[in-house]
Structures are given as C-alpha cells and as structure tokens.
C-alpha cells in the first residue's frame, strides 16, 4: 500500500475517533472540560417540542447541540490549531481572519458590509433619516440635544493587516449611512476619521480583540466632545496632558484564544483618568433590564457622577461594549452620565429620557450593527428582525 494512501487512512481514522468520542463523552461525561469558547453572543437554548412546529425542531436542536456539547471550547481550540499550524489557513470556521503579523479580524458582523456585499437601499436610508429627525425633534422639545457617533470596525482602521485581497477601498454602508444625514440637522460624528489620523502616531486598536484600545477610545470621544462643545461652550477643553495614562498588559482579549491559550501572550492597553476629576458610581433610578438583554443589570444600566464638575450637564448615553472602561475619562466632561446598553438596538427609549431629563442624548453605535436600528424603530416600519440579523 502506498504511503500516501496510508496517510489518508490515518487522518480519516483520526477524525472519525474524534467525532465518535464527542457523542460518547456527551452521554457518559468521561471528560467535562470547558464549554465556554469566549464568544460574545448568546448560546442557543434547548428547544421545546411543539407538535405544531415540528418543521423547525431539527434545525433548532442542531443549533442548540452545536453550542452546548461538552468540551466545545477545547474542540474549537484544537480545530484552530489544525487550521493555522497544520493546514496553514488564514480563516477559521468562517468566523475569523488571521491577518498580517497575527492581527485578528472577526468576520461575523464585519466582513459582508466591509466587502460591499451588504448595504442599505434608498428606502432603508430614508427610514433612518426620518427616525432620527423625529427623535431629534422630540428631544429638542424637552430641552435635550442629540448626537450620533459611529464607532469604526478594525477593518476600516487597520486595513493594511488584512489579507491583500481585502485591502481594496470599497464604499460601505457606513459611507451611505453618514452621507444620508449630510443635509439634515442631525449631528453625526464619523469615528473613522479620528482613528485613521491618530493611528499614524499611536496604536489605537487591540490586535487580539474586537475593540479599540483606551487610547483609541479617548481620541474618538474627544472628537465627539468637540462637536458637543459647539452647543455647550461650558464644556472643558481637555487635552491628553490633563489625564493620567497608565500602561497595562492585556491578556484577555476576546480573540486571543484564536492564537493561543497561553498566559504569556499579551498586548498593551491603557488606563486613562482625568487628573482633576472625582468620578464615582452614583445612585439614581435603575432602569429594569429587558428580558432579551444577555448581560447583567450592571452592564445594562450604569450611572457615574463627576463630583468636581464645573458644569451641571447631564447625559444619557446609549452604548455597547466599546464604551466599557471609558467612564473614568468620558464622565470627566460632565456632571453626570447614565450609560444604557439596550442590546445593540439603539432604540428611541423615550421613557428613559422623560425620567432622566438630560441635557444631552448620545447614541454610540458600532458600524457593524447599523442595521439593528431598524429592528424596533419608533417612527418608521421595521425592516429587520433580530432573528434575521443574528
């Protein structure tokens, strides 16, 4: 028998053993291992059998099993090792791209729109315009100013680390979304511009994580503050020299396990605090966590007060995970900031505004989630469902 045939038989037998062991282990729990693959999403729940909806049950159960079998994270890590080290593939299970110098790019919620395969039509863009003009109209009537910030994807900031076939400049739905508000009174800040400029001198994104680092966050939020200052000149004109910047070794990036499980690999991040501000978590009305929100009440609703503020400005900010750990420097601009995370839906949330009576309303959304604003709009018909988008 030829050596090549033997090799094929051995490889085939090896994978058969692995697949069979999954089912045996699930029944007898020989090894429990680790099921958490460090994925930033909700795992599928075990479906209930409904005699009237049996057509859906096989797919639902398949999704549940794929998300919840024993040793799931260990198997994923092993497959990543085979893909990268043995078969030398730059993408893993269609979920990630390993770029130049091991920069990691998540494909989910990124690649389709970045490659121009997914965009908004004229009808959808018109709906965005109507939705936010109507929101702004109401906020103005109750004495609040509204601002939008588009938080960029790593794809748009560190394009040079992507595989060469993806480096071609394309028009994306972010371009169309921002252009859509050009001739309106809606104030929108394009975070891509700030970070593309700043990255010439500083690293502004995390190599092994979906998110920016805190320096990138600082620069982008500073541009947002500059825009707000046009309406609120009492805002302080802080510069980076007015902040304490401590360098940290970050070992827990949400993509770092794609490369290794070793604790020896890290990258630099920053802890930034304003030198003259006394910022504390403070009490107030607690907005009840929605049933669909996957994280804790603490992540859903957080209130910070600046006890040394020289203005009385109050902010309600609708955020996502990009605003994590920014409270110490962003709150330094205001008297009080209430951070609300509404499961990436960036809804109107009129009830919250009516209770809080803020001076400023901020919507900060990641460009990969721009379509989610038409899941549950308040002034136009919905275009998508969460099931379609997730």
> What is the pLDDT at residue 34?
57
pLDDT tens sequence across 121-134: 999 999 999 999 99
Report pLDDT for 13: 77
pLDDT at 317: 97
Distance CA 186, CA 182 (A): 8
Tokens of 96: 């990630």
State phi, psi for 279 to the nearest 5 degrees. -105, 125
Q: What is the mean pLDDT of each run of 10 residues along the chain (390 residues)?
A: 66 74 72 55 67 63 66 58 49 72 87 88 97 98 98 94 82 95 96 92 93 96 96 93 92 71 77 93 84 77 94 96 92 96 91 95 95 95 87
Q: Give pLDDT, residue 228.
A: 98
- Please tell me what DSSP assigns to residue 337: E
In the prediction, which pLDDT does 267 show? 87
* Among candidate residues 50, 49, 43, 48, the one with its CA nearest the CA of residue 64: 43
Determine the 3-state secondary structure of 107 from DSSP. Answer: coil
C-alpha to C-alpha distance for 254 and 274, rounded to whole angstroms: 27
The pTM assigned to this predicted structure is: 0.77
Q: Of 38, 39, 61, 36, nearest to 50 (Cα)?
A: 61
Among 204, 199, 214, 209, which residue's Cα sits nearest to residue 251? Answer: 209
Per-residue pLDDT at 216: 96
Q: What is the pLDDT of residue 365?
A: 93
pLDDT digits (tens, 9 = 90+) for 204-216: 999 989 999 999 9
Domain boundaries, the chain: 3-106, 120-389
């Amino acid at each position: 028998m030829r050596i090549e045939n033997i090799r094929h038989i051995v490889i085939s037998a090896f994978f058969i053993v692995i697949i069979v062991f999954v089912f045996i282990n699930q029944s007898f729990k020989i090894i429990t291992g680790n099921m958490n693959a460090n994925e930033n999403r909700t795992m599928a729940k075990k479906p209930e059998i409904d005699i009237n909806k049996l057509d859906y049950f096989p797919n639902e159960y398949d999704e549940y099993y794929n998300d919840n079998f024993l040793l799931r994270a260990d198997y994923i890590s092993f497959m990543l090792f085979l893909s990268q080290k043995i078969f030398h593939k730059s993408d893993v299970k269609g979920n990630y791209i390993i770029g130049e110098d091991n920069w990691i790019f998540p494909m989910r919620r990124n690649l389709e729109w970045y490659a121009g395969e997914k965009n908004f039509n004229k009808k959808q863009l018109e709906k965005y315009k109507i939705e936010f003009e109507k929101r702004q109209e109401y906020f103005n009537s109750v004495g609040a100013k509204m601002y939008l910030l588009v938080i960029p994807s790593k794809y748009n900031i560190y394009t040079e680390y992507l595989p060469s076939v993806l480096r071609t400049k394309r028009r994306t739905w972010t371009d169309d979304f921002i252009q859509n508000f050009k001739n309106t009174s809606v104030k929108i800040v394009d975070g891509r511009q700030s970070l593309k400029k700043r990255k010439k001198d500083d690293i502004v994104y995390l190599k092994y994580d979906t998110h920016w680092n805190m320096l990138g966050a600082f620069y982008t939020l500073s541009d947002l503050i500059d825009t707000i200052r046009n309406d609120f000149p009492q805002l302080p004109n802080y510069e980076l020299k007015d902040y304490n910047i401590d360098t940290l070794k970050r070992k827990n990036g949400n993509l770092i396990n794609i490369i290794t499980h070793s604790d020896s690999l890290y990258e630099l991040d920053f802890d930034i605090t304003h030198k003259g501000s006394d910022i504390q978590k403070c009490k107030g009305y607690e907005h009840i966590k929605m049933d669909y929100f996957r994280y804790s009440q603490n992540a859903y609703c957080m209130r910070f007060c600046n006890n040394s503020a020289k203005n009385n400005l109050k902010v309600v900010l609708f955020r996502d995970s990009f605003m994590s750990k920014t409270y110490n420097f962003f709150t330094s601009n205001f008297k009080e900031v209430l951070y609300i995370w509404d499961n990436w839906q960036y809804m109107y949330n009129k009830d919250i505004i009516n209770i809080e009576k803020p001076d400023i309303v901020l919507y900060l959304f990641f460009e990969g989630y721009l379509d989610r604003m038409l899941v549950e709009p308040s002034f136009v018909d919905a275009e998508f469902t969460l099931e379609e988008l997730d």
